[in-house]
Amino acid sequence: MIKKNILLCVSGGIAVYKGAALTSKLTQAGFNVRVIMTKSAQEFVTPLTFQALSRQAVYTDTFAEKDPQVISHIDLAEWADLIVVAPATANVIGKIANGIADDMLTTTLLASTAPVWIAPAMNVHMYEHPAVRRNMEILKDYGYSFVEPNEGYLACGYVGKGRLAEPEEIVEKIKAALLGEAQKDLPLKGRKILVTAGPTKELIDPVRYLTNRSSGKMGYSIAEEASRLGAEVTLVSGPVSLPVPEKVNLVRVESAEEMYNAVIARFAEQDVVIKSAAVADYRPSTVFDQKLKKQESILTFTLEKTKDILKELGKMKTHQILVGFAAETNDVEVYAMKKLKEKNLDLIVANDVTETGAGFEGDTNIVTLLDSNGHRESLPILSKNKVAQKILEKVIELLKGR
- Could you tell me which residues come within 8 angstroms of residue 99 by beta carbon, excluding any fewer than 6 positions away? 110
**Residue 245, SS3 per DSSP:** coil
Amino acid at 159: V
Binders in 261-290 for ligand PMT, by CB under 6 A: 275-279, 281
Cβ atoms of 14 and 155 within 8 Å: the answer is yes
- Residue 343 labelled as part of a binding site: yes
Q: How far is the CB of 111 from ligand PMT (least distance, A)?
A: 46
Handedness of CA 97, 101, 104, 110 (dihedral sign): positive
Q: Does 388 bind ligand PMT (CB under 6 A)?
A: no
Q: Does 7 bind ligand PMT (CB under 6 A)?
A: no
For 197-230, b where at least 16 C-beta lie within 10 A, e where not — what string?
Answer: bbbbbbebbeeebbebebbbbbbbbbbbbbbbbb
Residues in a beta bridge with 231? none
Binding piece for ligand PMT, criterion CB under 6 A, among 136-144, 241-249, 308-316, 390-398: 308-316
Q: Point out the residues that are catalytic.
A: 156
Q: Does 308 bind ligand PMT (CB under 6 A)?
A: yes
Q: How far is the CB of 214 from ligand PMT (least distance, A)?
A: 4
Q: Does 195 bind ligand PMT (CB under 6 A)?
A: no
Q: Does 324 bind ligand PMT (CB under 6 A)?
A: yes
Q: What length does the chain have?
A: 402
Q: Which of 96, 309, 369, 392 binds ligand PMT (CB under 6 A)?
A: 309
- Cα–Cα distances in angstroms (integers) from residue 255 to residues 201, 210, 311, in the given order: 5, 10, 17
Q: What is the DSSP letter of 156?
A: T
Instruction: Give the N- to C-terminal CA distance of the chain in Å, as an integer.
Output: 22
- Residue 281 labelled as part of a binding site: yes
- Residue 325 labelled as part of a binding site: yes
79 φ, ψ (degrees, to nearest 5): -70, -35
Q: Does 235 bind ligand PMT (CB under 6 A)?
A: no
Using omega within 30 degrees of 0 as the cis cutoff, is the peptide bond preceding 87 cis? Answer: yes
In this structure, how many other beta carbons lie within 10 angstroms of the beta carbon of residue 362? 15
- Residue 4 labelled as part of a binding site: no
- Residue 217 labelled as part of a binding site: no
CA distance 143 to 159: 30
Q: How far is the CB of 165 from ligand PMT (least distance, A)?
A: 38
Pick between residue 174 and residue 327 the one whose CB is nearest to ligand PMT: 327
Pick between residue 162 and residue 198 the one whose CB is nearest to ligand PMT: 198
Q: Does 325 bind ligand PMT (CB under 6 A)?
A: yes
Q: Does 242 bind ligand PMT (CB under 6 A)?
A: no
Pick between residue 353 and residue 399 the one whose CB is nearest to ligand PMT: 353
Q: Which of 251, 303, 353, 379 binds ligand PMT (CB under 6 A)?
A: 353
Q: Which of 62, 214, 234, 255 binds ligand PMT (CB under 6 A)?
A: 214
Q: Which of 227, 306, 320, 389 binds ligand PMT (CB under 6 A)?
A: 306
Cβ atoms of 310 and 322 within 8 Å: the answer is yes
CA distance 132 to 129: 5
Q: How far is the CB of 206 from ligand PMT (least distance, A)?
A: 24
Residue ranges that bind ligand PMT, judged by CB under 6 A:
214-218, 256, 275-279, 281, 306, 308-310, 324-327, 339, 351, 353, 359-361, 365
Binding site for CTP, by residue number, is: 281, 291, 325, 339, 343
